[in-house]
A and B are shown apart, each in its own frame.
Chain A
C-alpha cells in the first residue's frame, strides 16, 4: 500500500538524480534510467494485488486532500505505460548515441513518465492538470531534442497548440470548481448528481472545453495538425513514447475519467456528447487512414495511422456499453504496443540507413531480418490479422458496434481496417520486400539492445490476446471496464461511503 506514491516519486527522483551524478560518466544515465523504468514495471505488476485502493496524500481525507486512486483502470494503464517505457529506455541505450546529451534525455523522459503515472493515479482534477502539464512540457522539449530546423518548428507548433488546449482545460476546471466547489473527481460527481447543476449552461460549456482540450491532446481529427509534425520529428524512442503512450495517457485517459466517472455517460447523452465523440472518431478513422496512404516519410505515415487508430478508440468509447469500453481499453493497449513497435522499427531503419523516405528503401529484409520481423508483426497487428493484438481489439470494437445496433458504423470500421491493411502493405512492399538497393547491400543489423527491445515488444504484441483468457481477464480488464461502466462504484471507492 505504501507503494502507490512511489510510482510517481521514483521517476521524479531519478530524473533529478541523474544530472547530479552523471556529469563525468556517460554510462550512468543509461544504467539509472533503465533500472528506474524496470523497477517501475515490476512495481506496476505488484500493484495489481492491491486493487482497489485509495491513497490519501499527506493523510488528508477526500474531498479536502489529494487522493491517489488505484482502481482497475489505473492499474491497467500503469502496466501498459511502464511496460512500454521500460522497453523504450532499453532501446534508447544504443539509439541515443546519435545525440549528444543522454543525461538530459533520460531526465526529460523520466519526468514525462512521472507525469503520465501521476495522471493515471490521481483522483483530483487539478492535480491531473498539473501532472498533464509535467508530461506534455517534457514532451515539447523532447520533440525538439535534436534542435534541427524541422524539429524546432514541430516542437514550437506542438507547444502552441498544446498550451492553448491546456488553457482551455484549466478554464474548464475553473468552471467545474465554481459550480461545485470541489476538485475531487468523486466528490464532484456526487455533487453533480445531487443538484440540478446539469441544467446550467456553464457546465455544458465546461464539457465542450474538456472535449476540445483533451481532443487536442489525443490528436483527434479536427484538432490533429500538430501530431504528424511532432511525432516524426522527435527521436524514434520519443516518437514511440508520444504516439504509443502520451496521446493515450494525456488525452484519452483523462477524457475517460472525466466523462465516465465524473459526469457520467448517461447524463452526457442528453446533449449529444456521445454522438459528437462518434462523429469525431469516424472522421479521424477515415481521414487518418486516407492521409496515411499518400505519405512517403515512414514516420509521418505511422503518425497518421495513430490518428486513425485514435478514431477507433473514440468510436468505441462513445458507445458507453461494457463491450464498447472493453474494446476501447483493449485497443488502447494493443495500439500502444504495436505503434511503439513500429516506431522503434522505423528508428532502427533510420539508424542504419540514414533515411526515412520509403521510396529510397527496398529489400531491407535480406540484410535486417529481425527489424523486418518486428515491422511485419507491428503492421499485421494494426491491420487486424489474427491472432495478433490488433485483431482482438478491432474485433471487440466491431462486435460492440453491432451489438449497439450501429451496423453502418461497424461496416465503416471494417472498411477503414481494409484501408489500414492497404497502407501498411504499401509500406511493406517499399521497405522490406523487392530488390535491395545497391547502396544498402552492405548494411548491418542494428545494435543488440535495440533489437532486444523490439523482439520483446513483438512478443508482447503476439501474445497480447492472452489477456482475454478468463482468469487473466478477471484480474486486468474486467475491473477496468467495471469501474468505468458503473460510476457509483468509483464514488463509493473514493469517498468510502
Chain B
C-alpha cells in the first residue's frame, strides 16, 4: 500500500504539513519560556505530543513512528524524569536542601531564557517527559493490542490490520 492512500484526505495532509512545524516550534517555545510567561513543561509537552498525534491522525501511524519509535519515546520519558530527579539531588548536595536552587551565581537578568536558576532545566525535563509519555499513551492506545500466548502469558503486539472491526 502506498503512503498516499493512508490516512485522511489530501487537504488535511497538506494543511498538516504546513502547520506541523509551527506547532512544534510553539511547543518548544512554551517549554523554554515556561518560567517567564504562562506555560511551562507540562503544557509545552502536551503541545509537542499533539504534533505527533496530529501526524498519526492525518498520515497513519507509520510516519510519526518513523521519526520517534516507541522504544526511543520510552527512553526519553525515563530520561526526562531522571534529569528532573538529578536536579533535585544536585540541589541536595550543592546547596543544602533537596530541589534547592543551586545556580545562584548566574547573572541576574530578568526576562532572559536563562535567568531563573534550575527552573528552565526542570521545565525542559518535564517537557521531554510529558511529550514522550503522552505520545506513548496515544500510540499504545491506538496501535498495540494484547494477544494471549499460552497459559497466563501475554504478549504485546503491533496491530497488523487497520481499524478494529466493530461488532
Contact = CB atoms under 8 A, between A and B. Distances in A.
Interface string B95-120: 11111110000000000000000000
Interface in A134-151: 146-148
Interface string B5-17: 0000000000000
Given A9-B88, A98-B152, A100-B155, A20 B78 contact: yes
A129 interface: no
Interface string B68-97: 000100110111011001001101110111
A444 interface: no
Contact of B71 (A23, A100, A146): A23
B153 interface: yes
A147 B81 contact: no
A9 B85 contact: yes
Contacts of A19: 74-75, 78
Contact of A20 (B75, B96, B101): B75
A9 B146 CA distance: 33
Contact of B98 (A5, A13, A16): A5
Given A5-B88, A9-B88, A20-B78, A146 B154 contact: yes
Interface string B128-149: 0000000000000000001000
Contact of B91 (A58, A99, A100, A147): A58
A100 B85 contact: no
A56 interface: yes
B140 to A, nearest CB: 12
B99 A20 contact: no
A7 to B, nearest CB: 11
Nearest to B86: A13
Interface string A87-125: 000000000001110000000000000000000000000
A372 B107 CA distance: 68
A57 B155 contact: no
Contacts of B100: 58-59
Interface residues of A, number: 21
A279 interface: no
Given A56-B97, A57-B98, A12 B75 contact: no
B98 A100 contact: no
Contact of B85 (A16, A57, A98, A146): A16
A312 interface: no
A57 B99 contact: yes
A19 B75 CA distance: 7
Nearest to B97: A59
B97 A16 contact: no
B55 to A, nearest CB: 24
Interface in B143-167: 146, 152-155
Contacts of B146: 147
B85 A12 contact: yes
A135 B93 CA distance: 27
Interface in B2-54: none
A391 interface: no
A205 interface: no
A64 interface: no
Interface string A7-19: 0010011001101
B153 A9 contact: no
A13 B95 contact: no
A59 B99 CA distance: 8
B78 A9 contact: no
Nearest to A12: B85
Contacts of B71: 23
B98 A9 contact: yes
A16 B82 contact: yes
Interface string A388-430: 0000000000000000000000000000000000000000000
A271 interface: no
A260 interface: no
B152 A5 contact: no
Given A55-B98, A58-B97, A58-B98, A12 B152 contact: no
Contacts of B92: 2, 5
A462 B77 CA distance: 44
A13 B85 CA distance: 7
Contacts of A59: 95-97, 100
Contacts of B88: 5, 9
Contact of A16 (B81, B101, B154): B81
Nearest to A66: B99
Contacts of B75: 19-20
Contacts of A17: 78, 82
B154 A147 contact: yes
Contacts of A58: 91, 97-101
A9 B152 contact: no
A9 B89 CA distance: 8
Given A58-B97, A59-B96, A99 B74 contact: no
Interface of A: 2, 5, 9, 12-13, 16-17, 19-20, 23, 55-59, 98-100, 146-148
8 contacts: A20-B79, A23-B71, A55-B98, A58-B97, A58-B98, A59-B95, A99-B153, A147-B154
Given A20-B75, A59-B95, A146-B152, 6 more contacts: A5-B88, A16-B77, A19-B75, A23-B71, A57-B98, A100-B153
